Amino acid sequence: MTDGERGAVIVLTGPCGGGKSTVARLLTARLTPSVRLHGDDFFAFIDQGAIPPYLPEADRQNQTVVGVQATAAAGYAAGGYHVVFDGVVGPWFLGPFRRAAAGAGVPLHYVVLRPDRDVVLARATARGPGALTEPDPVLAMFQEFADLGDHEPHVLDSGALTAEQTARAVRDGLATGAYRLP
């Protein structure tokens, strides 16, 4: 990396069980220099008064955390790093990422991993301690990603792919600009 080089922000998102964290690790292993920002970690920084982010009363908290996530991602990218942000970012939360990336002068890519309902439910409920495994919020989140309107071209069905195949498909889409947001 030389002075003045800019990286990029890659928002890798989708419902629980979509494969975000596994694919994010594979992507950052192949991008140099790279940073993986795990979105859940930002919620864990809240020591007192944290509200589960899937509850309606968490809206103010979620807006704050997403703003911090976007600022951190753009900050690393402005320093020349390829940033893979691994977290739940529906189109309704893209505004802070768009503003932060534009302010930092870095490209923003949006990739939604969206396997089918049964795959999401099986993967999410089989995860270990600390992960959201309750079927009702998992299915509610799946439903939120079911129809993304103008953002449907950013969807990758990762259900029938291995993690490596999914990472390769994401890399190919990034190379062609398929996931870049204007």
Q: Is residue 81 part of a domain?
A: yes
**Structural domains counted in the chain:** 1
**How many C-beta neighbours within 10 Å does residue 119 have?**
19
Categorize the per-residue pLDDT at 141 as very low, low, confident or very high, splitting at 50, 70 and 90: confident
Q: Is residue 1 part of a domain?
A: no
Q: Is residue 2 part of a domain?
A: no
Beta bridge partners of 109: 10, 180
Q: What is the pLDDT of residue 91?
A: 95
| Token digits of residue 125 | 């409920």
Domain that holds residue 151: 8-176
Q: What is the pLDDT of residue 133?
A: 62
Residue 28 to residue 62: CA distance in whole angstroms:
25
Using a pLDDT cut of 90, give the percent of the chain over it. Answer: 77
CATH number of the domain that 29 lies in? Answer: 3.40.50.300
Q: Is residue 182 part of a domain?
A: no
| Spacing of C-alpha 27 from chain mean position | 12
Mean per-residue pLDDT, 139-156 = 93
Q: What is the pLDDT of residue 30?
A: 95
Give exposure, 52-68, as e/b (b: 16+ Cβ within 10 Å).
Answer: ebbeeeeeebbeebbbe
Reported pTM: 0.91
Q: Is residue 55 part of a domain?
A: yes
Q: Per-residue pLDDT tens for 10-42?
A: 999 998 888 999 999 999 999 999 999 999 999
